[in-house]
Amino acid sequence: MKRQGLIFLLAILTILKCYAQQKKLDSLLRVSTTQNGELLVGTLNEISWQYRNIHLDSALVYARTALLEAKKTNKKKLYASAYNSIASAYQAKADYDSAIYFHSKSLSINYLKADSIGLADTYNNLGIIEDERGNFETSLEHYFKALRIYGNNATDPGLMPMVLSNIGIVYKKQGEYAKVLDYYQQALELYKKSKNTFGVTVTTGNIGSVMLRLKRFDDATTYALDAAEGYKKLGYHRYVPYMLNNIAVAEDSLGQYGKAEKTYLQAIGMFITDNNDYELTNTRIGFAKNQLGFKRYDIAIAQLDKALEVAQQKDFKEFEVNALQLLSEAYYKKGYIDLAYTTSKAFIIKKDSLFQIAKTKAMLELEAKYQAEKKEKELSEQQLQLVENKLEINKKNNLIYGLLAVAFLLGLIGYLFYSQQRLKNRQLLKENELKTALVQIETQNRLQDQRLRISRDLHDNIGSQLTFIISSIDTLKYGLTTGQDKIKNKLTEIGMFTKTTINELRDTIWAMNKEHITFEDLQYRLDIFMASVTKSSEHIKLNFTVDSDIDPTYTFTAEEGVNLYRIIQEAVNNALKYAYVNSELVEHTMAVSIHKTIDYFHVEVNDNGVGFNVSEVTLGNGLSNMQKRAVELNSELKLTSMLGQGTSVDFYIPVRK
């Protein structure tokens, strides 16, 4: 009894809402009889919009009446609004070719009149159409154009979230659910912020659809029920079957096949009443899948045949693919093997070409649309200019000639002034460039002078002092008695260290005296170093090789040349200190090589010494310095060593193009 009372109450509420909507329509219809001009066109457009949700034929009639009234006013802006109403009515009827035609006419006028909101509205509607036709790339292109325009205009807070929701719908069809939820959540927050009940309802239903794709069927049902209730409260019963279809899919997925069957049939009946071919096609496919679960193959095939016919007729590519796939399965289970095979082949072909066709068609449509808009814009501008010129000529021919003469004179003066100013700007630019170049040259000269002064100071002061130290050490050694060998040996070590320091100082002075170091200079310096190593270490056989085809004029910066030289020097010295061969039968050898490819210099230092375990040895300052220098050369030093198998140091230096 309570249930019957609840049903009765819901019926009463539904009747009251329908009555309220009809009352609003009656009010608009009464007002329209007392209006004319721009006010009448606006009222007729609003009537068309109201009928769009309850009676599509009436929506189209009133939209066309708005166009007739707009033509009486000869105001292009009113033409555009009427074209948009006609296109919206055709869009609701899923007559997309007609809808695109009238949207394009509205779009071309709004371009001429610079009506940004009108442009955005049309782009949004075109995005919806291309989405439903499976042209996803073009759909997103339209949506993002609308989004940019709405984002720069805050007159209606409901416009931005509307487009965000539409973008989410496109990404949902491509399975990019993270993007979908992101756009839906953005839209929902904006709708809640502006207290837009309709927007909240629509977005709630959309989130429920995403939950279906994520297989969160209980959540999907909850969202769909909330959205359906919201549509009922708003009186938009046309959108209730959308939610019923989502609920049916969730019920089917949860194994509630009987409940799903009833819900599908209820949604199909409502879509048929509303002449909504697009959603009807989608729901028939879902219902057919449900019937396959009951093994009612004939019913499933009949529903799929109807869905496929409409999808092909209306160019619903996505639904055509889905219908072919399910139809192939139904034929196979029914035992129609040949039909199943043929249908399966058609499904594969359609599926593989869906996105490629969409992209190709999108480009063709974009080009055609661009050319059509361009021609229509040029034609409109020419017609307006001709009318204005004719009126002006008839009224004030002499004034026009005078104005043209003055305009020509002003234009000529302006052009001469512009040319002169442009010439001055070029001269100023060249003067600034010359000043900058002179400053750079002067700076380089000062730096070079400083390098030379520092190198002279190092050579004349520190160098002479180190030489004096060596001389003093030699004198002390001669003055010592034979019993003081330990002191002599220590003095010898200090002398050797000082000589090494002098060599290091010479290398530094050599680098500082140069702004750039050629490969020939570097090789010459390395040859001297290798010769000194060979002379001082007779127990080691040193082999130093350089590719003969390396360009000797290739230049490094002074810093690059010093870093490269120091890395090789440190690697060789380390080998001399630690890589001894603990056997008289094995010759101690060391190889230093520099090779060059198109992109890199490859430097390698190898020895056949005792080696060591890299993971068990604490690396000293020498190797750390080598690694830092390699980083400054945009390289990475690689050290490899194994006990008894020697040590290798190699790195790559990028060739400057």
pLDDT in tens, 152-201: 765 667 778 888 888 888 887 778 887 888 888 888 888 888 888 888 88
Can you tell me the distance from the alpha carbon of 357 to that of 366, in angstroms, rounded to the nearest whole number?
14
If DSSP codes are grouped into helix, strand and coil, which group holds residue 590?
strand
HSE toward the beta carbon, residue 277, CA cutoff 13 A: 21
**Within a domain: residue 555?**
yes
Using the predicted structure, report yes or no on whether residue 268 has a pLDDT greater than 50: yes
My answer on whether 641 and 618 are in the same domain is yes
**In a shared domain, residues 508 and 522:** no
The answer on 541 and 566 residing in a single domain is yes
CA distances to 203, 574, 611, 613, 624 from 643, in Å: 69, 16, 5, 6, 21
Question: Minimal CA–CA distance to 180: which of 188, 170, 189, 190?
Answer: 170
- Side by side, the strands of the sheet bearing 638-641 are 540-546, 588-596, 600-607, 647-654, 638-641
247 is a domain residue: no
| Domain contains 536 | yes
Q: How many domains does the chain have?
A: 2
Give the span between the Cα atoms of 362 and 241, in whole angstroms.
31
Q: What is the structure's pLDDT at 474?
A: 63
Q: pLDDT value at position 3?
A: 34
Count of beta carbons in the 10 Å neighbourhood of residue 159: 21
The answer to whether residue 529 sits within a structural domain is yes
pLDDT in tens, 641-651: 888 788 999 99
Query: How high is the pLDDT of residue 340?
Result: 86
Where is average pLDDT lowest: 326-330, 334-338, 356-360, 623-627? 356-360
Whether 110 has a pLDDT exceeding 80, the answer reads no
d(CA 234, CA 650): 76
Phi, psi dihedral angles at 149 (to 5 degrees):
-70, -45
Separation of alpha carbons 364 and 360, rounded Å:
6
> Are both 506 and 590 inside the same structural domain?
no
Q: Which of 201-210, 308-317, 351-360 has the lowest mean pLDDT?
A: 351-360
Predicted local distance difference test score (pLDDT) of residue 269: 92
In a domain, 439, yes or no: yes
pTM to 2 decimals?
0.38
Tell me if 530 sits within 8 A of 592, measured CB to CB.
yes
The dihedrals phi and psi of 643, each to the nearest 5 degrees, come to -60, 125
Could you tell me which residues are beta bridge partners of residue 605? 592, 649
CA distances to 331, 436, 462 from 299, in Å: 12, 85, 104
Q: Which residues contact 321 (CB under 8 A, 6 or more apart)?
A: 347, 350, 351, 354
Check whether residue 526 and residue 581 sit in a common domain. yes
Query: Do 240 and 24 touch, CB atoms closer than 8 A?
Result: no
Q: What is the number of H-type helices and E-type strands within the chain?
A: 23, 7
The tens digit of pLDDT for each residue in 522-565 reads: 999 899 888 888 887 777 888 999 998 899 999 998 888 889 99
- Find, among 525, 578, 521, 527, the residue nearest to 552 by Cα: 521
How many Å apart are CA 107 and CA 117, to the nearest integer? 11
Statement to judge: residues 589 and 537 lie in one domain: yes
Count other C-beta atoms under 10 Å from residue 383's C-beta: 10
Task: Give the residue from 497, 513, 529 where a domain finishes.
Answer: 513
Characterize 323-343 residue by residue with b for buried, 16 or more Cβ atoms within 10 angstroms of its Cβ, and e for exposed: bbbbbbbbbbebebeebbeeb
Q: Is residue 528 part of a domain?
A: yes
Q: What is the pLDDT of residue 488?
A: 65
Q: 527: which 2 tokens?
A: 């040859």
Segment 202-226 shows an average pLDDT of 87
Q: Where is pLDDT greater, at 445 or 579?
A: 579
Q: How many angstroms separate the CA atoms of 240 and 270, rounded?
A: 8
For the chain, how far is it from start to end, CA to CA, in angstroms? 90
Q: Are 288 and 330 in contact (CB under 8 A)?
A: yes
Rounded Cα distance between 184 and 51, Å, is 28
Last residue of a domain, one of 461, 491, 513: 513
Is residue 527 domain-shared with residue 502, that is, in the same domain? no
- Higher-scoring residue by pLDDT: 115, 88: 88
pLDDT at 414 over 80: yes
**Distance in angstroms (rounded) separating the CA atoms of residues 263 and 258:** 9
User: Which residues constitute the domain of residue 497?
Assistant: 398-513
530 and 643 co-located in one domain: yes
Banded pLDDT at 85 (limits 50, 70, 90): confident
Residue 624 CB-half CA count within 13 A: 4
CA angle, residues 183, 184, 188, in degrees to nearest 5: 120
64 has a pLDDT exceeding 70:
yes
C-alpha to C-alpha distance for 243 and 251, rounded to whole angstroms = 12
CB-neighbour burial class of residue 618 (10 A; exposed 0-12, middle 13-18, buried 19+): exposed
Tell how strand 600-607 and strand 588-596 pair up.
antiparallel
State both tokens at 63: 């939209």
Same domain assignment for residues 625 and 525: yes
Q: What is the pLDDT of residue 531?
A: 87
Name the domain boundary from 513, 539, 570: 513
Residue 211 falls inside a structural domain: no
**Residues 41-55: what's their mean pLDDT?**
81
> Which tokens hold the place of 446?
């000062």
Instruction: Give the Cβ contact number of residue 462 at 10 Å.
Output: 14
User: Could you give the residue ranges of the DSSP H alpha helices within 133-158?
Assistant: 136-151
* Residues 563 and 439 grouped into a single domain: no
Is-contact 131 144, C-beta < 8 A?
A: no
Q: CATH number of the domain that 586 lies in? A: 3.30.565.10
Nearest to 78 by CA among 86, 67, 89, 87: 67
Same-domain pairing of 468 and 547: no
Would the CA dihedral through 59, 61, 63, 65 be positive or negative? negative
Specify which residues 593 forms β-bridges with. Answer: 545, 604
Q: Are residues 540 and 611 in the same domain?
A: yes
Q: What is the dihedral of CA 96, 101, 106, 108, to 10 degrees?
A: 130
Question: What type of residue is 17?
Answer: K
pLDDT at 505: 65
Confidence band, pLDDT 50/70/90 cuts, at residue 360: very low
Residue 493's pLDDT is what?
61
Residue 404 belongs to a domain: yes
> pLDDT tens-digit profile of 460-511?
445 455 655 765 676 666 666 655 666 766 666 676 666 666 666 666 666 6
Q: pLDDT grade, residue 593 (50/70/90)?
A: very high
